[in-house]
Every structure is written in C-alpha cells, then in structure tokens.
Structure 1
Amino acid sequence: MNFFTVSLIVYFSVGAGKSCTETTENQHYTCTGRNLSYIPSSIPSSIQTLDFSFNVLKRLRKTVFPVLSFLRVLDLSRCQIKHIENDAFHNVRNLTTLILTGNPITYFGPGGLNSLHNLQRLVLVDVGISSLQLQINNLTKLQELRVGTNNIQSMSLPPFMSSFKDFSLLDLHANNISVIKTDHTVLLREIGRNMTLILSRNPLSYIEPGAFKNIHLCELDIRSVFPSFAAQEIGLKALYGLNVKRLKFGKYNGGFRFHFSDTDYLYGLCSIYFQEVYYYIMERPNQPISFLHCMINATTVAVIGGVINKMEYVPFREIKELHLISVKLSTLPGKQLSHLRALEKVVITHNSAPIWADAFIDMPNLQYLDLSSNQITLYKCCTTLFSGTPQIRYLNLSQNIDIGFDLGGFDALASLEILDLHRTNVERVGYLPVLSSLKYLRYLDVSYSSITFINIFSFYRLKNLNVLKIAGNKFQGDVARYLFNNLTLLEHLDMSYCHMVELHPSSFKNLQRLRLLNLRGNHLMTVDFLAYPSLKQLTSVYVNKNSITTIPLHVLQKLPANLSEFDLSSNPIYCSCSQTDFTLWIIQNQNILKQPENIFCKTFSQSLDFRATDFDIDSCVHMKRLAIVLSVFFITVVVLLSFLVYRFQFYLQYCCILLRGYRSPGQQECSYDAFVIFSSYDEVWVMNELMENLENGVPPIQLCLHMRDFQAGKSIASNIIDEGIMGSRKIIVVVSQHFIDSAWCRFEFELAQSRFMMERNANIIIIILEDVEERKTKKVLGLHKHLKKNTYLKWSRDPLSNMRFWIRLRKAIIATNQ
C-alpha cells in the first residue's frame, strides 16, 4: 500500500467523523449537503434536532436510522427518497416534526408512518402526491399538514381525521384544486374552528354555494386562486356563511387583469363574517376603486396595492387597525378617518408618488401610526397634523423626503414613546430643542437624517430615553461631550458613521445604564472613553472600521467587566513588540471579540497583512529579554568606562598631548636642568632648601617649579609635559606622605616614568623627604619598584649628612648632564 493510498484512507476517515456539524451541544446537528447515504454513527443518541437535507437516502428502511429516542425534529428535504417502507421511522418514533419536502416519492408504504404516534407537524411539500387520502390514521396528535406544490385535486380529508382534535393547519397551496363542493368540506365543520386553511395559487374555478356555510376557521388564504375576474366575483359570493377570523384574498402577481367597472365586484364579502381582512391588489388600475363597504364589521383591514386617490367614507363599526400599503395615495386620509374613534393602529407606507399631508383629527384612541417609506414633505410639524391624536405612542416618519420641526411641534404628542425618523431629511432637530416636550419618549431614531448637532440641548428633557440612534449625522465642535448629559436611562446608543475623529472621555459620564455603544465607521484613533467608570454596565461595543492602532494597557485593564461583545475588526492595528500588551489581550480575549479573524495587523504592504491573533508574542519576549541583557551590558560598560576615565583622567590627558605631537629633547632645547615634582605641602622645604642650595650654588642649577615657572592660561597637564618633563633634563621627585596622597604628584611621577620608558636615558632622581611606609609607596604606580631598583637620596637634618646630601644631589644632576 503506497503513501497516497494511506493518505486517502486517513482523509476519508477523518472526513467521516466531521460529516455533520454540531450547532447546539449534543442536541442540534446539521448534515445538509454532505452527499451522505447513511446517518453517521458519530451523532449522539441525545440529539433532538437533525437537519439531513440535500443528501442521498433513496430508500427508507427500518435500519436506516439508529436508535435516536430523543430526536424530535428530522429534516429529510430533497434526499432523493423514492421508497418509504413500513415502520421506516421505528427507531425515531418520538418525532414531533418530519419534513420530506422535494422528494420524488413513488411508493409510500401503508405503515410507513405508523410508528410516529407523537408527530405534530408533517411536511410533504412537492413530493408528487395526488390525494389527501393518506395512511396517517395513527397520527392522532397531528397539528399541521403541509402538502403544497403537489397534484392534489380535492381538498377532501380522510374521515378518520375527525379524531384529530388538535389539527390546526392544512396547507394546500399551489396544487390542482379547481372545484370545491359541499361534501369536500364536511370534515372542516368538525375540526375547523381553530384551523388555518391555505388554498392560494390553486386554479379554483368553481365553489359550490354553501360549501363553507357554518364553517369556522382561524385563517383562510385564497390569494391568486381565481383564474378570472368573473370567477372571483362568483367565488366570493359562494363563500357565504363562512366565519373566519383572518381572510386573505387577492393576487400575488400576474394572472388576469381586473376591470373595475362593477362597483360591487367584492359584494360577496358582505356574506362572510371575518374580523381581519387582507386584500392584495398587485395591479395599478387606472381609476380609483371602491371596495371597503363590505368590510365595515372588520377589526383589521389591510389593503396592499391598488390606487386610492381619495379615501372613501366607510362607516366602520369596530375597526382598530387599518393598513394601506403601496396603494398610491395622493393625500394622507387624516380627515376621512377622523370618524373612526376606535381606531388604534394606522399603517400607510410605500407610496412611490408625492403625498400631501392631511391632519389627523378626533382620533382619541390612535396609538400606532406608521407613515414610513412615502414621499411626504412637511415644513412645519407636528402640532396641526396630529392635533387630535393625544394617545399616540408610536410614530414612524422614516424614509420620507423632508420634515421640518418647530419648537412646540410635539406638544400634541406628549404621550409619544417611540419616534422613528431615520433616512428622512430632518430640519432644526440639531440646533433647537424641538423634542423637549416628549418626556415619555423611550426610542428615538434619527439616523442618516442630515442633522448637524450644534446645540448641546438637542435632547433636553428626554430623561426616559432608552434607545438613541443618530448614525450617519455630524457633530459640530465639542458638542458630543455634553449632548448626552441628561440621558441617564439610556441603554442603547448608535453613533456609527458620524465622521468623528475623537471623543472626550467624559462624553458618556452620566450614561451609567448604557449597555450597547455603536461607534463603527468613524475615524476614532483612541477608545480612552471606555475606561470611564460610569460605563460599567456596557455589554456590547462596536468600534470596527475606525482608525484604531492600539489600546493602552491602562484602558484595557479598565474595560467594563460585563463586556461580552467587542468588535475591533477592520482597524489598522499596529502589531509590534512594543505593543505586546494589546496584541496579547486580543489573543486571550477572542471569546468576547466579534469577528476576531478580521482583526488584521497594519503593514506597509496590503498583501502582507496578517491576523493579529497570529502574531508571535514569544519572539517578542525573547527580543525583550535580549534588549534587557544588552541594556544592562551597555550600562555596565558605560559605568566601567566612566570609572576608568575618572581613575586615569591624567593619563588620558597625557595621551592626548602625545597624540598632538611628541618632541624629544633632541628636537627641542631644554630650558631647565631639573623639574621638581613635589607636594604643595612641601613647598617650604623646596623653596628654602632645594632651590636655595641648587640655584644659588656653584655652578647654579636651574630648577622648574610649577608655582613659579608654569605658563599662565595653559592647562596644568600641558605645563607638566611641555615645561616640566619635556623642558627639563632631569626630574627630581620629592617623596613625602603628602606626595603619596596627592593625585597630581602621582600623575607627574607616572608621566616622568613614561618619558623614561620612551627615551631610555631620562634619569629620575628620588629624594626621600620623610620616611613613608613601604605599603604606601605602592599607591604610586612604579614608585615602590623604582625604589627597589634605583639609588635614591634621603634628606636628613644632621649637618654632616646634610652636606653629603647636597654634594651627591648636585653631582647626580651635573654628572649625568655632561
């Protein structure tokens, strides 16, 4: 067996173990689209939901499924199943939902579903069945049967379903039902009181009159079932006696074209009792239509499509909700609705043409008003427009053209709790406190409303505000620092895409209940404000798509303890060994970071970008250690060099002098016979004894004494070299205790020795002025060694010894100079 074969075996072995994905631990698995022909053994017996759709299980036998006693939901959509044998689901008998959508089933065993006594939802959409006479008599707990997109021609249910007391939904959409007779609906009279019946997109050409009489349904959906205008008019009349809570009719799209010449084309609705009616008109008729007069008893009326240039007067008795969606209104029907005092909810949306605003008056119970996605323009809002709606809690004016607000414009809406103005050009909100009367407002959305916040009192008195969305607007100067000071109950703040470069740390100082802060899409470079102690309740922060390169350690350490979602993605993070604290924090906190895989390190080349989570922290630790070692070494060397420079400063000066140019006695004429090296404490002896006897003797000997012969203004070291050592033929060293202790004396003596070493003929005459301990002579470099190897003179106060001393000294100076 070669290496390639072994590799394939290993690959498929590993792949088999990973053929399904665990979405909820030990409970929910998905195996969709894996081309599997068996249920993987790796699935635990504790599983409750299994999505096995888009695989290959052509024949279902009893042995296909392992024992999964806790399995409740099984999705086998489009698994190419053709045969379902008896007891095929024996090992998954506790299912409550079985989905078989899109399988070309040619054989359904009579006992195929016998084991599923607990099944509540059965989906057989697009499986090729042609009848509702299914072998499901054991499914007594069945609540939903979905058999849409098949070839069923009759809605007649099997008689045994009369015992299905919990049955509540029959979905027959897109079948081939063309006729409904009275004997087809017998069972609905027994089980239909809380049932939803979906017949949409069937070619229903005939309904026997009375077929639905005394039938009670929760919902009836007959959208796009009538093949012609005449069939619809006749079909609605045939539904007389039907009692339904929610009726949906009209068209999805296409089909026949309505001709609205008959004003009573919906007359059949008057014989149907319904509470909610949803009428879909997917065409745009050329003239207004009248259709509401048979809906006067409804509590909810929804019209989708059509043209209502002017709302007709309809004496609705119990209407509470009115929805007019895409109906091409030319005027808001405020006055036309004013007589509907019980109306609580009005939704008028998605008008593509400009619409005039008419005042809503005398509507004391109206609480919900949605006027979004129209073409409304209001120059002064909203005192007149909503003067008769004191109970409005929800107002949506979003996605309109232009709305201007004046001071006091919301005085008539003092009870307002939710105000949505997003993507509408809003005027005067940013520089006037026009919202100040909305003391109960909890939700405000003015995102992308072309607002520039200038006034720090724009949200003045909105003390109950919980959610504030101001994305896509602008702030002038430092107004954001004070704008939110009184919003102490705010929990959600969206300031995304507001062109902000910085935020003062105290901008959110009073937002102690803030839980979500959205700042994505700005130009922020720092997030220091997150360290402010008032933000301790924050759980979600979004600062992605900004210009953040790093976050200091002290800010990271003060981040809110409850933070569970932090989005830093799409920022130019600076990853380097100098920023390891931040990079390490990113690596260690991926559990709270949203999209950590999209946090990239900034590099000079975009092609070299890499994830911050892949940054090698260990290499930085080694480099930091190396830097510390090198720093310690450098400091040690500097300290050592400093010590050496201090210790040998005189010699360094001497070396500098020598580097400037050395002149040997042969190159210059000596000015003195001898240079005297002595301590200033011994100056009296030198002046009274040494100078007196040598310079005044015969022949006279010229001495070089530093206090007398050194040139003024010249450095001491230069004088010692030029005038003393290099300008004299001999060197006399007067050794005493003071000499030993003098740094300058030691320096001069060592320089004299260096001349001796360089010329090999320079004599040093040492005079011991007073006895010095031998160990102390070792303090002067070379002195102890010189005394051991060379004859020296010793001063004595004895007259005879004194006479011999001067004779020997004079002889030593004169003799060696000849």
Structure 2
Amino acid sequence: MNQTSYNNPFNQNQTTVSQKMRCPFSNAVLLLLWIQSVNGWMHPKCDIYHSAEDIEDMPPSYCLKRVPKGLTASCQYVTVIEEDLHGLPQNINTLCIYMTEEKNGVMSLGSFSQFQDLEYLYIYGCFSQILPTENSLPNLEYMMLSGQDVGCCDCNIGPHTFRDLIRLSNLVIENYRLSTMALDVFDGIPHLQTVSILNSGLKDWSEIICRIMYIKSLTDLVIEALEIQTLNQSNCPILNTNESMTPVFNNLTGCSLIFGEITHIEEGALACFKNVTFMQLHISQVDLLRLPQSGIKQIHSLGFYSNDIDFESFCNLVFLLSIKEIHFKTSNPSTLSMSSVDMCIGLESMFIYVDIHSVPQIKWNFISTLKNLKTLSVFHQNQNSVDLCSFQKQQITGLTRVVLNLNIQRLFAEQFCCLGNLRDLNLYNNLLSNIEHFAFLGLTNLESLNLSNNNITHIHANTFYGLYSLTWLDLRENPLIHNIETLCFTHLISLREVFLGKLNSPLTEHMIKLNLTLIFGDILSQLTHLYISTWMRPMHLIVGSDITSTQNLSLTLKGQTVSFEDCGQPFFKSVIHLDVHAEEFLCGSEFMGKYFKSVETFVYRSKLSAKSYDMTTINQLIQLQKLTLFSVDLIQQPSADIIFHNLTKLEVLKLLDCKIYSMEGSLTKDLKSLKRLHLRIKNIYNVLYSFPESLSGLKYLLFNQLHLFCSCDNAWLIAWAKRNRQVEVILTSFRHIMWDNLTCLLDNGIDTPNFVKYTEANCTTEIDFILFTVTGLGVLFFMLVVFVHNLSGHYLLPLYHITLGWLSEAMRSNTRGRYDYDTFVSYSGKDELWVVEELLPNLEQRGPPFLNLCLHSRDFQLGKDIVENITDSLYRSRHTLCLVSRHYLRSNWCSLELKLATARLQVEQRDILLLVFLEKIPPRWLSTHHRLARLVKTRTYLDWPQDPHQHQAFWDRLWEKLKPPTDV
C-alpha cells in the first residue's frame, strides 16, 4: 500500500484547476535541447522526440506528460508561427508552442495545415485574433489555448473558427476573455465532449452559460470563474426557442464548478446543471442554503467556506441535494453535534478544515449519527484531543478511513477501539510523543497506519498490539532516541511495508545499531519494503539469523554511513531494489554492494568528499537492470575502467554529480543491453570515440551540463550525435545551449573557446588531403605509384621529412657512432605520468653507465618546427623507444614519429628500434596501423607487466638493451 497524500483545498497556497492544467515548462529554469537523430537534423527552436514516457530523466511539462504516442515537437521562443515551425516533420502527433511575446498578432489555424496527423495541440500565448481554415486539422482531438499567466487575453474568435475541427473532443481555454468571442463560438463542433474554461475574466455568469449552451455533445465540463460574485439567471438567445423547456446538457456526466466569493444566487441560475460532480465556493450560509433554488438537483462533492455554519440547516441542504462528500472550512467546529448532523445521514466523506485561529474544540460524538460515513479527515491545529470512542457504546462500522492532522501529543490505550472496520488511519504531522500500550487495540482490520512527522521517541513491545491485518506502517521523521524494544513488530503477522526513521539514539553512542531479527522476528521474511533512516548518524545493521525472505524486498537505507555485520546471510539475496543514501556502504572495510546478488535496481548516493574505497565489486551484480550513482568520485577508484564489466543486463545507467576522467570503450564493453545513459559529471572530462562502440542497444544518451576538455579525442562527438540514427542525444543545461555554442576547457585551465571552432581549427585532416592532391598532380605517374604503394599515400609532409632524414643520415655516415642521446622516447603526452614516475627513475638514474634520454617535453628546441625537432632528435639518438598505448595509436604526432623511426631502421639496417606495450592492445586495433602491425610480427617487443613483482626484471632487460657500448 502506498502512502496517501491529503491536500487542503482551502489552504492559502491551494492549487486551482487552472494551475494544475497550466504547463510549467515555459517558466522552467532547465532548458532542453533535443537532437532528432532519427531524421538526422536539428531544429533551431523546436525539440523533437518520441513518447515522453520513454525519457525518464526529462522533466516534461503538463502537455508533454499527456503524450500517448508518436512524434512530439516542443517549440520555444516562437514569434511567428508559420516561420518558426518551418522544417518540422509533417507526421508529428503532438505540438506544444510557447510564444515569446506577451501579446501576439493574428493566428490562423491554417498555419498547422501541414500537420495532417496532429492529434494534440497546446498553444501558450496571447493573440489578438484567431482565424479558421478549412480542413486544416482533420485528426485533432485535443486543443489547449493558454494565455498570459496574469490577466486575460482579449482575443477575437469568430463563430466558425473551430467548426472544421471534426474530431475535436477535448478543448481547454485558459486566461482568454470569453466576452471577446462570438456567442456561438462553440457551435457546430460535432464531437466536442470535454470542455474546460479556466479564468475567463468575466463577472457575468450569463456570458459563460450562453456560449457553452451551443455544445450539444458535451459530457464533461470544468468551469473555473473566480471573479464571478453573482450567479444570475441566463437570458440566452438559444433559450428563446422551442427547446427552452428541455434540459440543455442531456449527456452531461461530469461537471465541476469552481467559484470565488459568491454573494448572491438567483433562482434558476444553475438550472441547466441538474447533477454537479464537484462545486467549490466561498459563500455565506444564507446563500449556501439557496442552492436548491438555483435549479441544481444533485451535488456529489461540495467544497465551501463559511464563517459560521448552522449544521442543522446545512444538513437539510445535504439531504435535498443528495450530497455525498463535503469539504468545508469553519471557525466554529463546536456546532457539530449528534442532533445537528441528523439530516447528514447520507454523507460518505467529510473533510473538515478548522481555521487556524479557532479555539473551540470538536466534539466527536457527531460521528455516531453519520451511519454511512466512510472517510473522515480533520485538520485543526488547536485540537489537542481525540475522543472518538469513549462516548460510543457500539461499534462505528461505517468508517474505513480516518485522517487526523491535529495538535495531539498522546494516544491512550484502546483509543480507537470502536472503529473495528477501519482500514486506513493517518496521524501524520501531529505532535505525538507518547503512545501507550495497546493504543490501537480493537483495530483488527486496519491495513495502513501513518505516524510520520511526529515526536515519537519509544516503540514498546505492545505499542502496535492487535494490528493483525496491518500491512503498511510509516514511522518516518520521528526522533526514536531509544532502542526499539525487542520483538515489537513480531505479532504484526500481515506486515509488508515498514518505514523507520529517523533513528537517533543518545549522542553518547557513536553508532546506531539495529538487530533486524530481534525487532521483526520471523516477519522479516515476509517484508516487501523496508526503509530505515538514521538521518546524519552512522548506522550498523545486524540481520541476526539465517532468515531467508520469501518476498522480493525493496530496501532503503539512509545514514551518514551504513555498515553490516553478517554480510553473508541469505537475507540479502532477497533484495531486488536497493536504495542507499550514505557516504560509505560497507561490510567491514569492503564495499557492501556485492552481497546483494539478486538486486535489479541499485541507487547509491554518496558524497564526493567521502573517504574513497574500492567499489569495483559492483560488477558482480550481474542481475542489475538499473544503476544510479550520485556524487561518487570514480577518479579515485583503483579500477574504474572495470566497474561496470559483467553487467550485461543493465538497461539504465545514471552517473549524476559524479567525477570521472574519461568515458571510453573499456568502461562500457559489457553494456550490451543498455538503453538509457544519463551523464551529469561534475568535472571536465573526455568522451572518447571508443565509448559507444559496445553500446549496441543504446537509445537515449543524456548529457546534463556537459563539460569537455578541448581535445581532438572529443572531436568526433558532435558529428556522431547529429548523424547517428539509433541513439537520440539530449543536451541539457541551465541556459539555452546547442552543440554549436558548446564550450570546452583548454589545458591552461582558464580559456574556454567554442568547441566546434576549436575542433575545426585543430582536429581536421582536410588540409593534408588537399596538399596531397595538389602536389600529386606534379609528380610523375611511376613515382606516384611507388609512393602510394609504400607510404599508403596519406601524408605528403611525413614523406618529405623522411627523405630529409635519409639525406641527413647519408651526410653524417662518416660520423656514425657519435650521438647526443642514448635513446629517443616516442610516447603520447597522456602517458607522460608513467614516463616521469617509472621510465626516468629506472633508466636515467640507474648506472653506471648512465643513460641520456631524449623527451619531447624536455629536450625539444623552443621555437623550432615540431617535425624538424622530431627528425633531428631521432637521428641524434642511438635508439628509438616507442611506448605504445591506446592514446599512442590515436596520436598523429606519435604516428609520424613511428614512420620516421621505421624509415631510419630500413636505411641503417641496425637494431635501433624497440617497442614497449604499456597496455593490452586488441589485434583489431593493430590491424588499422599497418607499420606497427608489421613490426609486431617481425620484431621482439616488451609488455609492461601488470604484476609489480615482475617490474624489476623488465627494467633490467630494457636497460641492458639501451645502455651505451662500453668503448664509448
């Protein structure tokens, strides 16, 4: 059973019908940009996507929540509809338009004629006139016109504007003044059934009635007219016919009328509404009692506010109008008595809101008179007692649901013993601090008990005695500062869902310890939902037995830290949904997650500042389908690249406010079933080209506040997002952002240039192709064939420097053996940390003899051309050492260094080139690098060992190879 929320319709911050139906999207801070990859294009003002239900992470507006199927377009900052909608796909099913200006000019329904499949149309904006058009929207079923948030739109709408909307069945008009529309504006719409007129800006009730009289097919009506004060009898032209004596709304089954303060009701003013589903108004008792004279025959639910209510007279009204439910606010609840409510015998639901300044107390004995009452809700901040049963000799069998939001501090024994058929008891947000033993005795049929947001400090063994049918118990937000007594829940044989918190044992105890078996006993095996919170205190849980749950358990834990003692118990295998809010989640000193072998949904909220511990064992949760990590620093994880391995069933992955250095293929290699990926990364990071290679099932990729390094490693992302036909990429931010104005961070940590312009200037290879084509036209045919065959014809510039290297080597042949460096080191700048921490200490600092290495970051001459630096340094070194990694293979400069080194190897025919693989490189990667693939097949190379015990042997072997000859 889910927790029930109870709303006060008379609260000062009440939500009116118009507020519920208004789309909040236009005022949202979060602006969304959708890239429609299915059609391979972007629209400058419209977001295009499929069903809103498919996007869990999107905060859709009211209009988007109603999307049933098909394509949806949500267009922001619209100024001219015809121009701004140009280019949208014609098969859209739902269209939401948000106008920029407070007042716009003329709008023609013909502007939508291209959208023949359109079924739902939402327009937010104020127009001076709306013009019709023939057969423009043949499939439109739902239309909403919403004007300004404040005031009303004076829009001229003629008599035949909507007549051609032959399938229109639901029409909502909000913040549009009806008096500027034709009297028969709704006439001729053949299938219009549901109409909502909200805030029409009129004070004359007739202005509304005379227009809706023309809707012959109406079945459901909602009118919100807060400015009307007098309900007068209508004098409409349509009534001056032969039909004037017959009911106008023959098919009306649902009718809601919401008024403000009504000062007068004329006789027959509401005669057209025989049966009203819901009516709300602020009215004096005199006018309230005149409702039967208005022509209404029945009201199902009535909400009203009156300062002083004579309940005896009011109950006569309840009897006459067959009212089943009342919501009322009063300042004098003491007038409720057994005799005064005698005629209210037909009431089934009563919601009482007592004015905050009211002092009189409620006398509860009136309940015994209301034999048919099923639901009772009382909100009275000055009521400090609940005396429901002491006056009652017999059982009150009708009540099944009671909500008491009072000022009570204590529950006595058998407090509710007369309510034997009660199913739902809600005592949330009181001041309860003491519950006596057997307080709920007699509630044998109670299924739901809500005691949240109170001051309860003790749970005794007999606190809940007698609640044998209880399935749902909520004790959240209670300062339970003492231990919960042993076996206090064991007699609740039907209990399924328990919410405990916030547990807060005495401050003398550093950690709150809880033994679940001592508290719950055998019923622990039948729970389906267990929630435990210690707020900001550490929590230590003990299962205490080898109980095996027979249910699929949802477990929610909240504390500063959460730890377990007996982690291997079979109880943990029954947890299907796991939600943890804690800086640490531990069994001893290791991550606790791996013990939940059956978990399918895992949400873990930590803190970036939390102590780092290894979470790699997440990859053992092979049943995971949804994983959400909040504020987890993956940079500090020792094996972050394998943390999601083995999760072949994972469909949804969310990394929210986390930190990670790069998203790459090694991270996602096993995520074959992943459909949705949501990334909101706190730091600047890279998204490498290998990242989506394994994500064959991915449908939605959401980047929230994307922060990228200015790196060519990321250059592929924009083109991929625009052309990809399988994945729909969403880019969100706190400001209006598109791929074309995305910024990136330079290495200096200060400058943030435009990302698109940076990649175009630094990462394009088009200039190489153009140079090759132009130069190749001047080369003889046979030379071109030779060069293309040997060099693959990709780069002319590297060929030029190789030739210079050959010439330089021939010229210095008489001085061979005299070198400035022992070894030229070719490596990627992203592997420089390994070079500094591992290579230099083990080669340059070892001796004698001592090696002299040439590094581009240290030994290249400033101001000199980079390629000349590479060529000179390579030929001034006795050996060339290539440190091969994935980063190395992606670097154009490293590729050039390898080409020059192999050319020198071919010329000198000496053993001068050594290869060291810093990581495992898949054969399919090497196959695209032909030179390196040939070298691997023909030359012996070294692998950097992963086992630290083998490092010394590696360095001994490498140093022996590179050390200078003894005669030098």
Q: TM-score, normalised by structure 1?
A: 0.65
Mapped partners of 2:591, 2:311: distance in 1: 63
> Which structure is higher in strand share?
2
> Which of 415, 418, 436 is the aligned partner of 1:339?
418
Structure 1 residue 442 and structure 2 residue 519: aligned?
A: no
> Which of 298, 304, 319 is the aligned partner of 1:240?
319
- Structure 2, unaligned runs of 5 or more: 1-76, 240-244, 390-394, 506-510, 540-560, 710-744, 766-886, 913-964
Q: Which residue of 1 aligns with 2:657?
A: 545
Q: CA deviation at 1:273?
A: 1.1
Q: CA deviation at 1:284?
A: 4.7
Q: CA deviation at 1:45?
A: 2.2
Q: Which residue of 1 aligns with 2:471?
A: 393
Shift in CA distance, 121/12, structure 1 to aligned 2, threshold 3 Å: closer
Kindly report which structure 2 residues correspond to 1:689-708, keeping only aligned pairs within 5 A, or say none. none
Amino acid at match of 1:494: V
Q: Which residue of 1 aligns with 2:171?
A: 98
Mapped partners of 1:644, 1:517: distance in 2: 52
Q: Which residue of 2 aligns with 1:626?
A: 893
Q: CA deviation at 1:409?
A: 3.7
Mapped partners of 2:230, 2:379: distance in 1: 29
Deviations 1:88-138 (A, max 9, x none): 212224221222222223254343211123212222233214226424244
Q: Which residue of 1 aligns with 2:205?
A: 130
Shift in CA distance, 614/457, structure 1 to aligned 2, threshold 3 Å: farther
> Which of 368, 373, 382 is the aligned partner of 1:298?
373
Quick check: 2:124–2:147 contact (8 Å CA) kept in 1?
yes
Structure 1 residue 595 and structure 2 residue 703: aligned?
A: yes
> Which of 565, 569, 572 is the aligned partner of 2:683?
572
Q: Which residue of 1 aligns with 2:384?
A: 309
Amino acid at match of 1:418: E
Deviations 1:678-727 (A, max 9, x none): xxxxxxxxxxxxxxxxxxxxxxxxxxxxxxxxxxxxx9999xxxxxxxxx
Deviations 1:507-560 (A, max 9, x none): 463561x32222211333344565343x3332222222223213553332112x
Q: Which residue of 1 aligns with 2:579?
A: 469
Number of residues of Structure 1 aligned to a counterpart in Structure 2: 614
Kindly report which structure 2 residues correspond to 1:778-797, keeping only aligned pairs within 5 A, or say none. none
- Structure 1, unaligned runs of 5 or more: 1-10, 252-257, 646-714, 719-818
Deviations 1:637-661 (A, max 9, x none): 478668399xxxxxxxxxxxxxxxx
Mapped partners of 1:640, 1:223: distance in 2: 99
Q: CA deviation at 1:321?
A: 1.0
Shift in CA distance, 503/219, structure 1 to aligned 2, threshold 3 Å: farther
Quick check: 2:668–2:691 contact (8 Å CA) kept in 1?
no
Shift in CA distance, 12/501, structure 1 to aligned 2, threshold 3 Å: closer
Amino acid at match of 1:339: C
Amino acid at match of 1:438: L
Q: CA deviation at 1:344?
A: 1.1
Mapped partners of 2:262, 2:625: distance in 1: 54
Structure 1 stretch 80-89 or stretch 91-100: which is displaced more?
Answer: 80-89
Structure 1 residue 322 and structure 2 residue 402: aligned?
A: yes
Mapped partners of 1:23, 1:491: distance in 2: 38
SS at structure 1 position matched to 2:894 = helix
Q: CA deviation at 1:481?
A: 3.7
Amino acid at match of 1:30: C
Q: CA deviation at 1:432?
A: 5.7
Amino acid at match of 1:366: L
Deviations 1:652-673 (A, max 9, x none): xxxxxxxxxxxxxxxxxxxxxx
Amino acid at match of 1:148: A
SS at structure 2 position matched to 1:392 = coil
Q: Which residue of 2 aligns with 1:408?
A: 487
Structure 1 stretch 296-305 or stretch 417-426: which is displaced more?
Answer: 417-426
Percent identity, please.
Answer: 14
Structure 1 residue 28 and structure 2 residue 28: aligned?
A: no
Kindly report which structure 2 residues correspond to 1:135-534, keeping only aligned pairs within 5 A, or say none. 135=211, 136-151=213-228, 153-154=230-231, 160-161=246-247, 163-174=249-260, 176=262, 178-179=264-265, 191-192=274-275, 195-202=276-283, 205-208=286-289, 211=292, 219-224=300-305, 226=306, 228-230=307-309, 234-250=313-329, 258-259=331-332, 262=335, 264=337, 267-268=340-341, 270-286=343-359, 288-291=361-364, 293-294=366-367, 295-314=370-389, 315-325=395-405, 327-332=406-411, 335-351=414-430, 353=431, 355-358=433-436, 359-378=439-458, 381=459, 383-402=461-480, 404-421=483-500, 425=504, 428=512, 434=519, 437-446=523-532, 449=535, 450=537, 451=539, 452-457=561-566, 461=571, 464-472=574-582, 474-476=584-586, 478=588, 481-482=591-592, 485=595, 488=598, 490-497=599-606, 499=610, 501-507=612-618, 509-510=620-621, 512=623, 514-525=624-635, 526=637, 527-528=640-641, 530-533=643-646
Shift in CA distance, 502/394, structure 1 to aligned 2, threshold 3 Å: same
SS at structure 2 position matched to 1:411 = coil
Quick check: 1:430–1:453 contact (8 Å CA) kept in 2?
no
SS at structure 2 position matched to 1:630 = helix
Mapped partners of 1:402, 1:28: distance in 2: 51
Q: TM-score, normalised by structure 2?
A: 0.56
Quick check: 2:142–2:171 contact (8 Å CA) kept in 1?
yes
Quick check: 1:396–1:419 contact (8 Å CA) kept in 2?
yes
Quick check: 1:153–1:176 contact (8 Å CA) kept in 2?
yes
Mapped partners of 1:716, 1:476: distance in 2: 58
SS at structure 1 position matched to 2:901 = helix
Quick check: 2:311–2:336 contact (8 Å CA) kept in 1?
no
Quick check: 1:507–1:529 contact (8 Å CA) kept in 2?
no
Deviations 1:771-807 (A, max 9, x none): xxxxxxxxxxxxxxxxxxxxxxxxxxxxxxxxxxxxx
Q: Which residue of 2 aligns with 1:709?
A: none
Shift in CA distance, 302/28, structure 1 to aligned 2, threshold 3 Å: same
Shift in CA distance, 12/47, structure 1 to aligned 2, threshold 3 Å: closer
Amino acid at match of 1:221: L
Mapped partners of 1:511, 1:174: distance in 2: 58
Amino acid at match of 1:631: L
Deviations 1:304-342 (A, max 9, x none): 2333322112452211111113x1221246731133221
SS at structure 2 position matched to 1:569 = strand
Shift in CA distance, 111/410, structure 1 to aligned 2, threshold 3 Å: same
Mapped partners of 1:468, 1:130: distance in 2: 55
Shift in CA distance, 196/716, structure 1 to aligned 2, threshold 3 Å: closer
Tell me: higher relative CO, structure 1 or 2? Use CA pairs within 8 A at least 6 residues apart: 2
Amino acid at match of 2:140: L
Quick check: 1:372–1:398 contact (8 Å CA) kept in 2?
yes
SS at structure 2 position matched to 1:517 = strand
Mapped partners of 2:906, 2:381: distance in 1: 93
